């Protein structure tokens, strides 16, 4: 069932502000570009961000130039082709590493176009320049094409005269999960390159870990600079409000978006290969005055358009309340936070009590947004609302369809003694730039939080040393995924992050729910959501 409801727009107030450059304006627009831009253009409070925007973007792209560095000018061993505006701002870049032996080669590590300027042909311009560069240097180009075949940009390298390396040195060179492509410059087209290319490929494989580590360091440095640009733009845009101590809903919303993106980036940094945290994020966080702002996780009225969408997949006992249907964001955000173990431990350490007005500083301290999950008791049943970005709604629908196909086969599957269960979306509501997903509350927590609890909680840490519960969780999840792939759905091989895994957990006692089968201890359940 899909219901469309109309909301009235509230007029905003427009203040005189310092002029922002194009990149600064686009950085701020990107903060509200998750399901709310349809209304943002007509909102007086932000209309100055959009003024003459697309005309300026077109002029900027037309006037941009690519800087070409000589081979001896390197950054951490990298050579860079960088696309810049006439005023010097970066629109995109290509990272490469130069290898002299067994033949001159530039290994293409990464091509990145600023998200704000994608789909404008800039990637093709950089690759055209790279091809000219290789011809000029009489050097081979090599890359590992990690773009999945279903992605619209998968064939971009084929269009620029790259070819699979197997077509030059034979199919025996291919490794599992590798998609190496090669560009042969014009001066070398008539030479037999099979043997030197084979040796070159072997050399690249040995250096991949080092290359990935260096590339991660450069990407983190660039991302930190972007966050600093956004912070400066926000402080400029809201300079008057900051001086007057007047914290408007728009200001709270924009800074909340900034901080949630920052802590998400901080979490991802820990997963990067070889990254050791050499760049500090302390220089990025807002000032203490800003950090004390209360959160506002949904767009202010008048900024996000005028419609509410409700998709109900399963009947809920009773009727969905009128206030929930009319103003989902306001209703859901007023619900109590889900008392996950990490949040309860944080509250105890800081001697805080619920209900609590969470601030940006709390988010930075916790490392996650505790208001993203809300508890709702309705008609005697415990439920959880999860707040997501509105642009994720198509993926939610896809996941729901997949779970409907999966569920009939689950009773026949056990992973190392653990029963597999589904916790599908029941209702999805779209409002104020967010999607709110309703699921049943289960006796389980996300597997990563479970591992964190086994390490951080002193009692659980002692149990873990004796019973190796962390290994049990990881082995069970690995086996569960193998069984799903083998018996139910091979598409999980393509997108292993399509689903989230939860392990059985006693939430009141904060201990794992463990059973025993013929082979020994086992988890009671594994939940798929």
Instruction: Give the span between the Cα atoms of 147 and 94, in whole angstroms.
Output: 16
**Confidence band of 494 (pLDDT split at 50, 70, 90):** very low
> What pLDDT does 474 receive?
94
At residue 13, the pLDDT reads: 46
More confident residue, 272 or 292: 292
Q: What CA–CA distance (Å, rounded) separates 133 from 67? A: 12
Lowest mean pLDDT among 10-14, 167-171, 179-183, 265-269: 10-14
- Residue 286's SS3 state is coil
Res. 225 pLDDT band, cuts 50 70 90 = confident
pLDDT at position 174 is 57
Distances in whole angstroms, Cα of residue 167 to Cα of each of 53, 127, 149, 179, 197: 46, 21, 18, 12, 12
* Residue 224 clears pLDDT 80, i.e. is over it: yes
Q: How confident is the model at residue 17 (pLDDT cuts 50, 70, 90)?
A: low
Which pLDDT tens digit goes with each residue over 49-79? 887 777 888 888 888 888 765 555 555 667 8
Residue pair 420/411 in contact (Cβ under 8 Å)? The answer is: no
Write out pLDDT tens, residues 116-137. 788 888 888 989 999 999 998 8
Does 153 have pLDDT greater than 50?
yes
pLDDT of residue 491: 55
- Indicate whether 442 pLDDT > 50: yes
Q: Which of 75-84, 278-287, 454-463 comes out lowest in average pLDDT? A: 278-287
Binned at pLDDT 50, 70 and 90, residue 336 comes out as very high
Q: Taking 60 as the threshold, does the pLDDT of residue 8 lie above it?
A: no
Q: What percent of the chain has pLDDT over 70?
A: 86
For tokens 């067994």, the residue is 102
The answer, yes or no, to whether residue 7 has pLDDT greater than 70, is no
**272: pLDDT strictly greater than 80:** no
Q: Which long-range contacts (CB under 8 A, 24 or more apart) does 80-86 make?
A: 81/126, 81/129, 81/130, 81/133, 83/113, 83/122, 83/125, 83/126, 85/22, 85/23, 85/60, 86/60
Quick check: 9 pLDDT over 50?
Answer: no
Beta bridge partners of 528: 422, 501
pLDDT at residue 302, as a whole number? 73
DSSP secondary structure letter of residue 337: B
The per-residue DSSP string of 500-518 comes to: -EEEEEETTTTEE-EEEET
Residue pair 182/162 in contact (Cβ under 8 Å)? The answer is yes
Lowest mean pLDDT among 1-5, 213-217, 354-358, 471-475: 1-5
Predicted confidence (pLDDT) per residue in 158-205, tens digit: 888 898 888 888 765 555 567 888 999 988 888 888 888 888 888 888
Looking at every residue in the chain, the average pLDDT score rounds to: 83
Q: How high is the pLDDT of residue 452?
A: 92
Provide the whole-model pTM: 0.80
Per-residue pLDDT band for 490 (boundaries 50, 70, 90) equals: low
Six token digits for residue 439: 């699921």
CB 413 within 8 A of CB 420: yes
Instruction: Give the range among 103-107, 168-172, 177-181, 274-278 with minimum mean pLDDT.
Output: 274-278
**Mean pLDDT across 465-489:** 86
Q: Distance between CA 90 and CA 84 in Å, rounded?
A: 4
Q: Which is more confidently placed, 479 or 193?
A: 479
């Amino acid at each position: 069932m899909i219901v469309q409801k109309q909301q009235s727009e509230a007029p905003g107030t427009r203040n005189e502000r310092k002029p922002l450059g194009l990149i600064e304006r686009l950085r701020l627009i990107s903060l509200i570009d998750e399901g709310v831009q349809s209304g943002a253009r007509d909102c007086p409070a932000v209309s100055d961000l959009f003024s003459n925007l697309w005309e300026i973007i077109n002029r900027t792209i037309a006037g941009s130039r690519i800087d070409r560095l000589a081979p001896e000018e390197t950054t951490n061993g990298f050579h860079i082709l960088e696309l810049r505006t006439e005023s010097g701002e970066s629109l995109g870049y290509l990272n490469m590493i130069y290898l002299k032996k067994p033949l001159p080669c530039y290994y293409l590590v990464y091509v990145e176009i600023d998200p704000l300027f994608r789909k404008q042909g800039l990637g093709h311009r950089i690759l055209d320049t790279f091809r000219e560069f290789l011809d000029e240097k009489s050097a081979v180009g090599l890359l590992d094409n990690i773009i999945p075949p279903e992605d619209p940009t998968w064939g971009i390298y084929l269009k620029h005269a790259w070819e699979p390396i197997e077509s030059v040195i034979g199919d025996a060179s291919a490794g599992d999960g590798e998609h190496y492509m090669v560009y042969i410059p014009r001066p070398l087209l008539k030479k037999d390159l099979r043997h030197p290319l084979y040796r070159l490929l072997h050399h690249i494989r040995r250096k991949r870990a080092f290359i990935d580590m260096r590339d991660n360091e450069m990407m983190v440095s660039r991302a930190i600079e972007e966050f600093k640009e956004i912070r400066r733009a926000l402080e400029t845009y809201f300079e008057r409000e900051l001086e007057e101590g007047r914290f408007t809903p728009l200001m709270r919303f924009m800074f909340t978006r900034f901080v949630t993106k920052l802590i998400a980036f901080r979490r991802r940094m820990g997963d990067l290969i070889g990254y050791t945290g050499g760049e500090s994020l302390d220089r990025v966080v807002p000032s203490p005055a800003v950090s004390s702002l209360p959160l506002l996780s949904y767009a202010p009225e008048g900024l996000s358009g005028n419609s509410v969408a409700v998709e109900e997949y399963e009947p809920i006992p009773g009727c969905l309340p009128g206030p929930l249907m009319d103003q989902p964001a306001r209703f859901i955000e007023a619900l109590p936070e889900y008392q996950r173990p990490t949040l309860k431990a944080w509250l105890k350490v800081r001697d805080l009590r619920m209900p609590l007005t969470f601030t940006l500083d709390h988010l930075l301290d916790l490392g996650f947004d505790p208001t993203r999950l809300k508890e709702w008791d309705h008609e005697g049943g415990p439920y959880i609302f999860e707040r997501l970005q509105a642009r994720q709604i198509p993926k939610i629908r896809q996941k729901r369809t997949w779970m409907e196909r999966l569920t009939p086969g689950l009773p026949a599957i056990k992973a190392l003694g653990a029963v597999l269960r589904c916790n599908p979306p029941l209702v999805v509501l779209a409002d104020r730039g967010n999607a709110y997903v309703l699921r049943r509350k289960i006796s389980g927590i996300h597997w990563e939080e479970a591992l964190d609890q086994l390490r951080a909680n002193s009692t659980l840490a002692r149990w873990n040393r004796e019973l190796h519960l962390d290994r049990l969780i990881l082995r069970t999840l690995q086996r569960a995924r193998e069984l799903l792939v083998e018996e139910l759905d091979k598409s999980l091989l393509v997108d292993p992050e399509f689903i989230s895994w939860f392990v059985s957990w006693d939430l009141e006692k904060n201990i794992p729910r463990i059973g025993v089968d013929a082979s020994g201890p086992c988890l009671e359940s594994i939940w798929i959501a």
